[in-house]
Structure 1
């Protein structure tokens, strides 16, 4: 039977790059380490490493075992952390992710604060990840709740996404741009301007939405000389390097020098969704339900 110790030993050897360095870090004899790996390979009935006198290489099976084994150990570590929280009276850690275009506005932040007040034993671990990646992270158990910019293109059988609100799309422009003097601009007027953020028709979220809106009008945005799909795009716009179509909420984080112009008389909208597993842990389900109720109560 394969033991967790063998998982750990194998991962350590690969990351250390040699048996000797791994043995030093693990405080065991190199011969004992070699024996453990041999027993692991015998149990699997396949070699994981090809060895010579000085070095080793991973076999295809070894590469797979390393990648999956490392993830297993990380999941175990996460489980231990959560168990310690429970042991100290906490109910658990909920991992929440949001995309760079779904900033934690006062509405979202206040709803999170209210949910944390209701679920006093919960701790939030908040991180940022693109919308498409979030649904995969939740599907594979590395995240619990995602705040995504719709649409998401990848379909995961265990994931549900609920709308939590819509907002206007706007054009972010440098303050000295001719566009900055306008109160409103039609999307078609932007066909000759350089875009800091180039939308991608095969990538979900805001990128997909903007790409399709432009293609419907017969053009695809021209790329600027500096490109970014992250919040740093606003700094590049302030420096006069291009424009971008962004959600209205991005005004909250914009540096001086960026002007936001209403797009197509405010008719073009973008939607934010909350992604969770359909059959999540009861604590996650309860927290998500409370969060949804809070978001419904706090309207923009």
Structure 2
């Protein structure tokens, strides 16, 4: 069995300097070493490798074929060691590993790619695993512990989850084209409560109450819920006349559906899109993701204004 060659990284760095400068005096100055000492280090390296790496004359220094081959490996080895050290430093600060990012349909809308791109640029050692959760899981995996951080919609009644609002997304009523309110410029929430309304079958009562217009109801107009599993299923049910829905203006502008119309609700607030995480468990990775999300939000003011001002009438 051949014994492994033990070469310290300092010698590799010396060799790379000489190979790039092709001049011992310049290389010695670059690595802060006397020329004679540098020459001795290169000679020791050649003995360890078992091949002549440099041709030296009084006039010039050139790489031998063996030296050219070794230079590529030396650069790769030094780069790998530097990356390993950087990874270790990131891990020491909690900035390496995997971040499990959950999101409800739509995530952070147009801000999503900006946030993910900037986070990737700031923290290349972190793998972001994204997972979309169905409409019945308003916590996007936080409640079950399946995710570390998530793009969610407020209001939220699930305990032990902290949130930071990114922006407020206007909402509208989606009704069948044959609905008696079609043609109105706007309607009140109270005018919608007589109809069956879609529901994602969530256990989060605060979330369900918002999307089912509970604050506008009384005992005579208790919600008749029509369960749904997705946004597209919701639109199909509304088109078929089985229910109405309260939904994001994004649906109106980016997912038009034959057989439905959208109405402005003049007395109902928008839905805040937020970043959520487990209370008292803000890891360094989660803290950095939150920092990136907020910095992108504060930088992209024009985009945020456009999203928050999206028209609520067609």
Decide: shared fold, TM above 0.5: yes
- Match of residue 98 from structure 2: 93
CA–CA distance in 2 between the matches of 1:161 and 1:187?
A: 27
CA–CA distance in 2 between the matches of 1:221 and 1:114?
A: 43
CA–CA distance in 2 between the matches of 1:121 and 1:259?
A: 46
CA–CA distance in 1 between the matches of 2:237 and 2:294?
A: 34
Give CA deviations for 1:195-234 in whole Å, capped at 9, x if unaligned. 233787x62453132343233696223345xx31531212
- Match of residue 29 from structure 1: none
CA–CA distance in 1 between the matches of 2:219 and 2:122?
A: 47
Q: CA RMSD in A?
A: 3.1
- Match of residue 128 from structure 2: 124
- Match of residue 50 from structure 1: none
CA–CA distance in 2 between the matches of 1:199 and 1:187?
A: 21
- Match of residue 276 from structure 1: 277
Residues 96 and 126, structure 2, Cα contact 8 Å, conserved in 1: yes
- Match of residue 252 from structure 2: 251
Q: Return 5+ residue gaps in structure 2 as ranges.
A: 1-86, 308-314
Cα offset for 1:252?
4.8
CA–CA distance in 2 between the matches of 1:216 and 1:273?
A: 30
- Match of residue 289 from structure 2: 287
Cα offset for 1:112?
2.5
SS of 2:181 mapped into structure 1: helix
- Match of residue 177 from structure 1: 179
Name the count of aligned residue pairs: 205
Which of the pair has more CA radius of gyration? 2
Q: Return 5+ residue gaps in structure 1 as ranges.
A: 1-85
Alignment of 1:29-178 (within 5 A): 91-100=96-105, 102-129=106-133, 130-132=137-139, 134-137=141-144, 140=145, 142-156=146-160, 159-178=161-180
Residues 199 and 228, structure 2, Cα contact 8 Å, conserved in 1: yes
CA–CA distance in 2 between the matches of 1:134 and 1:264?
A: 32
SS of 1:148 mapped into structure 2: strand
- Match of residue 230 from structure 1: 230
CA–CA distance in 1 between the matches of 2:194 and 2:252?
A: 24
Residues 198 and 223, structure 1, Cα contact 8 Å, conserved in 2: no
